[in-house]
Structure 1
Amino acid sequence: MIAPPELVLANVAEALRDDEIHVWRVHYRQALGRKPLCEVLAAYLDVAAERVALVDGEHGRPALTAPHDPSLGFNWSHSGEHALIAVGRNVAPGIDLERARPRQRSLEIARRFFSADEAAALARLPAAARNAAFLELWTAKEAVVKALGRGIAFGLDRFSVASDAGQLRLRYLQGDDVDAWQLRRLELDPDLVAAVAWRGDARRIRFGTLASGE
């Protein structure tokens, strides 16, 4: 799906509000590297894509270098031929995307790495429903650790995510106030699972899809 006229990248980038997070879906190939990310960021920075300068943080999260606008926060995730890029002002979003595929060891992984209540919730589910629930938890937890600026080495058992009435909720986060956090499921294709997280006030998520080469 190509973004409708009102969601053309340059137009939306120019109109980024402080109470929004923009999420772009782009085509991805490994050979492209960070080119799709730089092209999206270039529209928000009003520079040519080749002038976008990134540096990896201590835990691998990319960040803009000076003299780029320090208020612009972003994150991205890719899986197979798909990528998602989240952009916002004065916020550090974390986003994760996974293809829906069977995980034969999902319960074993959850018991080893997730919080005890998450693993117990998965164990109570019928086997047929467990894989989808595991993927939803996994993407939500990845989004949170990316928003924290940390990798999974932070410890996936140091916080807990629940899905209540179809809504994701951060139930516990060691050393932090969960009420200060936002966690959202992103509705994509049936074979894709995604979530975005950030610390701060609730924001509107504005979603668009870019055609290859846009």
Structure 2
Amino acid sequence: MKPLRDNVHVWYCQIQSPEAWCAVEFVLSMEEITAGQRRHDKASKTRYWLAHSCIRLLIGHYINVDPRHISFQKNSFGKPRVVGHDISFSVSYTSNCFAIAFSKSGELGVDIEWLNPGFDFFPVATRFFGDDEIRSILCEEPTHQRRSFFEIHTLKEAYSKAQGEGLSFDRERYEFHKNPHAPQSRLCVDSEVSCINDKWSFHAVYLDLDLVASLAIDKPAPVCIETFHLTQDMYSQLIKRLQEY
């Protein structure tokens, strides 16, 4: 694992057996426990609690602080940041999975989506995507159009999360296209001024065959991105580290 200082780390977790993951109550604040309880079903509650316990545990690992003593502060749109430490993070959920991205070199956003085979994506694309984005989807082979849609969708959502503006963020203003010079990199075009946003970098991130994930990073390319699959054993090791604080 490279130091987080000049890199971005993305942790991905797939929850196969929720009952096997435990000890979240020893890490979370009462506010986080209550927020999880407001989720509509047991699976969503478990996913929320586990993801937020991992946020605390991993931040504690990066900055060498007891995860239970980490404080968060939200902006007016609800985006949290770590109080007193120069580390940014973003979390996204889909199905039984979640992903968390970390950076020490600027704001970032991550978004993941399950490639739902029953989802009718085209009405969404015609409502929220630009003409060039729709054309790029239709130019793909029919078997690849769904993935192409979700790549653009997750890029818009990741950029929105990074900006921290909530629903006020204008997703229709920014169009995303593949970068012919870098397979995993994406180009962002500001349609209001017809120019490429080269102050940020945007990336497709491979996590799993049935998932699409994207990153938006407040840093010009190139950016080094590392991905990690968070297993139950890794989680248990992070929990055991609590005894060291």
Alignment-mate amino acid for residue 180 of structure 1 = K
Q: Among residues 145, 170, 175, which one is paired with 2:187 in the alignment?
A: 170
Residue 205 of structure 1 pairs with residue 225 of structure 2: yes
- Output the amino acid matched with 1:208: F
Structure number with the higher strand fraction is 1
CA separation of 1:169 and 1:23: change in aligned 2, threshold 3 A:
same
Query: Alignment identity in percent?
Result: 25
- SS of residue matched to 1:120: helix
Larger Rg: 2
Q: How does 1:1-214 map to 2 (within 5 A)?
A: 7=1, 15-17=3-5, 19-27=6-14, 30-31=45-46, 32-33=48-49, 34-65=52-83, 68-69=84-85, 71-102=86-117, 104-165=119-180, 166-173=183-190, 174=192, 178-201=197-220, 202-212=222-232, 213-214=235-236
Given the superposition, is the C-alpha separation of residues 210 and 105 from structure 1 closer, same or farther in structure 2, using an over 3 Å criterion?
A: closer
CA separation in 2, counterparts of 1:167 and 1:152? 27
Residue 185 of structure 1, CA deviation: 1.0
TM-score, scaled to structure 1: 0.81
Task: Give 1:160 deviation, angstroms.
Answer: 0.4
Asked whether the equivalents of residues 137 and 145 of structure 2 are also in contact (C-alpha less than 8 Å), the reply is: yes
Once residues 81 and 55 of structure 1 are traced to their aligned partners in structure 2, the CA distance between those partners, rounded to angstroms, is 27
One-letter identity of the residue aligned with 2:111: D
**Cα separation, 1, equivalents of 2:152 and 2:167:** 13
Q: Deviations over 1:76-103 (max 9, x none)?
A: 1122222211111131111111111125
CA distance in 2: counterparts of 1:204 and 1:92, whole angstroms: 15
After superposing the two structures, state which structure 1 stretch, 76-85 or 185-194, moved more. 76-85
- The number of residue pairs the alignment matches comes to 198
Q: Aligned partners of 1:152, 1:170: CA distance in 2, in Å?
A: 22
1:120/1:152 CA distance change after superposition, 3 Å: farther
Kindly state the Cα deviation for residue 120 of structure 1 after the two structures are TM-superposed.
3.0
- Contact 2:184 / 2:205 at 8 angstroms: preserved in 1? no
Q: Using a 3 Å threshold, how does the CA distance of structure 1 residues 39 and 170 change in structure 2: closer, same or farther? A: same
Does the CA-based 8 Å contact 1:140-1:183 persist in structure 2? yes
Query: Which secondary structure does the structure 2 equivalent of 1:112 belong to?
Result: helix
| 2: CA distance, partners of 1:80 / 1:141 | 19
Is contact 2:105–2:219 with CA below 8 Å preserved after alignment?
no
Gaps of 5+ in 2: 16-42, 237-245
Structure with the largest fraction of helix:
2
Alignment root-mean-square deviation, CA: 2.3
TM-score (norm 2): 0.72
Q: Which residue of 1 aligns with 2:28?
A: none
